[in-house]
Structure 1
Amino acid sequence: MSILTRIRQINRRRALGWAAFSYAVAVLSGAFLGAEITLRSKTRRVKGEFVPVGRRGNSVYLPASPETLSRGVVGIVPLLPNQGHATLGPPRQAGTLVRREILDERGVLPNGSLAWVSTFVYNGTPQQLGIPFQHTAVHTEVGEMPAWHIPAVSGEKDAIAIVIHGHGGQRAQALRMLPALRRSGVASLFVTFRNAHGAPRVGKGYLSLGDGEAADVIAALEWAKAAGYKRAMLYGFSMGGNVALCVLRSRHQPYPIPVTGVALDCPALDWRDTIRSNGQRYGIPTFMARHIGNFVQYLVTRRSGQDFDVVDQLAAAPSFNLPMLLWHGTRDATIPIRQSDALAAARPDLVEYHRVEGAKHIRCWNINPEKYDGELEAFIARVLPGVKV
């Protein structure tokens, strides 16, 4: 019997039924996984790779990989032996290896060592940069949130930046920007929020994508007031940007101390769009990604009570009244850049927008650190004038 004959003998209704069943299983499986990631994502370690290091003078040779080939600056920490930290400049191909020049080095990066390399540059505490800081905790209604307090260089307790990490993120991811914050004259408080790694678990451990976490940032402002600070700015990364904008909602005002500006790095502004986009990111056909995205939203709401309207910052854009500094990379595969485009277009009176060509998610600094730092320092001088440098 030929193959064509066998195909003709297949019961079409049964075949269509199995196809529909398989499609439903695929959609539901993807949705359950997506909902779990959305609600619970957190990591113990800063993202990076472990690689062997070859060193000749000021040049470092690394095996080629997506991380070692990333555009712009990366950081590297030797593990065996662990003697230091270095920042490395842009990559150049050297045969089958990647060559990068050392820009700055603390301690020793030995030839032949095993090292952690990452576009997040740092994986420790401010001590990794040689900057004095204090471990502290922000008291909230749901527990003590670990934080790092970095006093201003001047010692003045005037202005403070509240630095908010992202979904599944770590405070160390923002250490790249700490030197610029220090040069601007402000103190910093690198905070965590409920259900993030190292922070108290609340209920079933579900994230609320910005709304519930905003209460922890308000508590951080209370901490700053009790510590003697008089004014603040918010600085949010990815989901941390949504948290910062949730703080601007009227139900959180008046603030414990005045908030005069908000800096946003690749912020998640529309979670519905983000969920749909991340389905397509993994090669899922558009129509299937749309179905999976809809089911993810349904499951997240059923499991946690999440109201996606409450964390839709594009819809809330008309209500904002503070100056904003906004960066977003054109190669961001996590949060679509169209969200930041839309916010900048909706509020050109408030938003200073920097669209960074070639930057991946919260990697805008890496493409041109000097430019990014200059934009941050200028914004701080504008929204927190008179800070003693």
Structure 2
Amino acid sequence: MGKAVGVLAGSIALLGAVVGAAVAVLTVVFARRVVTPSGAREEDIRIIAVDRPAGRIVIEGHEADMPGRYGFWFEHDAGHARLGDVVEVRDRRVTRSIERVDFGRLERAARGRIEGSLFIGPWELGVPYADVIVPTALGAAPAWEIPADEASDRWVVQVHGRGAKRQEALRAVAPARAAGWNSLLMSYRNDGEAPESIDRRYGLGGTEWEDVVDAVRYARERGAREVVLMGWSMGGAISLQAVLRSTEVREVLSGMILESPAIDWADILRFQGSMIGLPDQMSELVTRLLAAPVAVEVTGLAAPIDLESLDAVARAHEFGVPMLLMASEDDGFVPITGARRFAEARPDLIEFEVFHGARHTKLWNAEPERWEGLIEAWLLRRSVVGTPSGEETEIAG
């Protein structure tokens, strides 16, 4: 421990000689936060009152007034409820409907957190599913396999986002099944379900893509002839890297769906830094730090992360399949600028759908009919014209 502290102190001192001690410390802290999987999720919603007979709850906090239906975890994940739409907003207090309480004593809870994942597991969807294992280089990664109504050789491989789990993608199962596609909801390294990597750190897409390749291989071994990757948030970055780096994926890839994706990490770091009051130059320092050899010592990474190599916009010319790209002007976590520039770089491939009022990865919650309709229609078009190929052939979306 003493040696590690000494190395960290020496690394900070080295940075400090260049940019100043205070800035150096903030840079290291921010960089570690970016690549370190979160532990217990913050309960940032205060519960003011619960009226179970009337089916109402009064809450206060960040994003408490979002439109739509949401999952609500409380009592440190010992309880779960489904919240319906906003009934009233008075001052900063938001009254929402309670659709149901799955477990726990909501009326006794003081705090909770809202999630876009409305469903706890696939058993709630009322369709067949199987708990399966995807073999990966790091070990057995759990997944859910959900077949279409009729036998199909078309698969959607779902890649959830940072800090989320497989449940995030359950919202996409219904439109996939309606279009005749099977779904594989995978887990990946360091997400709390799949095996951990040696460093137990996120690679921001630069390492996790290997697990996507394994998931696609699993689908192929079960008869998949065409595969669509659907990536949520960081899962979008992971999916894009899998396409860029794996011939095995490209051989069966017929398209991609990107929901609130992480396209440009430098842009994301600037945005998130500004949210906590850090100057723009801080994100540039974090970008440089993550790519430098010293990153191994100060962040715990097994290897530096070159964020420029993860920039999908710069490599847009390398993609050759249609994409459905959905993002919100009001995301609040990942700026829409990266998605917009990606869409502008490949208008021949990318169908860009902009939402308003929806928060990060919560497009379905805000506009479920539109969201499901877009995915179903897009997948139906792939069923007609989507032909996977290992070649970098451009297919009009």
Calculate the TM-score normalised by the size of structure 2. Answer: 0.80
Residue 33 of structure 2: which of 26, 34, 37 is its match? 37
Decide whether aligned partners of structure 1 residues 385 and 129 sit closer, same or farther in structure 2, where only a CA change above 3 A counts: same
Code of the residue aligned with 1:159 in structure 2: it is: R
Which of these two proteins has the greater Rg computed from alpha carbons? 1
CA contact (8 A) 1:344 1:351 kept: yes
CA distance in 1 between partners of 2:203 and 2:265 (Å): 11
**Which deviates more from structure 2 when the two are superposed, residues 52-61 or residues 328-337?**
52-61
Q: Report the CA distance between 1:87 and its aligned residue.
A: 4.6
CA contact (8 A) 1:83 1:107 kept: yes
Q: Report the CA distance between 1:51 and its aligned residue.
A: 3.6
Q: Secondary structure at the match of 1:314?
A: coil
Structure 1 position 64 matched with structure 2 position 63: no
Matches within 5 A, 1:162-311: 162-249=157-244, 251-255=245-249, 258-298=252-292, 299-300=294-295, 303=301, 304-311=303-310
Q: How many residues in Structure 1 have an aligned counterpart in Structure 2?
A: 365
Q: Secondary structure at the match of 1:30?
A: helix
CA distance in 2 between partners of 1:386 and 1:46 (Å): 45
Decide whether aligned partners of structure 1 residues 278 and 257 sit closer, same or farther in structure 2, where only a CA change above 3 A counts: same
Q: Could you tell me which runs of 5 or more consecutive residues in structure 2 were left unpaired when the two chains were aligned.
A: 1-15, 387-397
Decide whether aligned partners of structure 1 residues 383 and 91 sit closer, same or farther in structure 2, where only a CA change above 3 A counts: farther
**Which deviates more from structure 2 when the two are superposed, residues 364-373 or residues 39-48?**
39-48
Matches within 5 A, 1:12-161: 24-43=20-39, 49=45, 51=47, 54-55=50-51, 59-76=55-72, 85-93=81-89, 97-101=93-97, 112=107, 114=109, 118-122=114-118, 124-154=120-150, 156-161=151-156
Output one character per residue of 1:162-206: Cα deviation in whole Å (capped at 9) or x when no partner: 000112222222223333333333221111112221221222123
Partner of 2:366: 367
Q: Could you tell me which runs of 5 or more consecutive residues in structure 1 were left unpaired when the two chains were aligned.
A: 1-19
Decide whether aligned partners of structure 1 residues 117 and 58 sit closer, same or farther in structure 2, where only a CA change above 3 A counts: farther
CA contact (8 A) 1:74 1:117 kept: no
CA distance in 2 between partners of 1:195 and 1:83 (Å): 24
CA distance in 1 between partners of 2:194 and 2:365 (Å): 28
CA contact (8 A) 2:325 2:351 kept: yes
- Aligned sequence identity (%): 27
Q: Secondary structure at the match of 2:310?
A: coil
Decide whether aligned partners of structure 1 residues 47 and 143 sit closer, same or farther in structure 2, where only a CA change above 3 A counts: farther
RMSD over equivalenced CA pairs, Å: 3.4
Output one character per residue of 1:73-123: Cα deviation in whole Å (capped at 9) or x when no partner: 32346879x898535123522577422345x65869988364855241436
Code of the residue aligned with 1:202 in structure 2: it is: S
CA distance in 1 between partners of 2:174 and 2:101 (Å): 15
Output one character per residue of 1:359-378: Cα deviation in whole Å (capped at 9) or x when no partner: 22212222211111111111
Code of the residue aligned with 2:206 in structure 1: it is: D
Partner of 1:327: 326
Decide whether aligned partners of structure 1 residues 281 and 83 sit closer, same or farther in structure 2, where only a CA change above 3 A counts: closer
Q: Secondary structure at the match of 1:112?
A: helix
Calculate the TM-score normalised by the size of structure 1. Answer: 0.81
Output one character per residue of 1:312-344: Cα deviation in whole Å (capped at 9) or x when no partner: 111110111111111111123322211001001
CA contact (8 A) 2:326 2:354 kept: yes
CA contact (8 A) 1:48 1:119 kept: no
CA contact (8 A) 1:85 1:128 kept: no
CA distance in 1 between partners of 2:131 and 2:318 (Å): 35
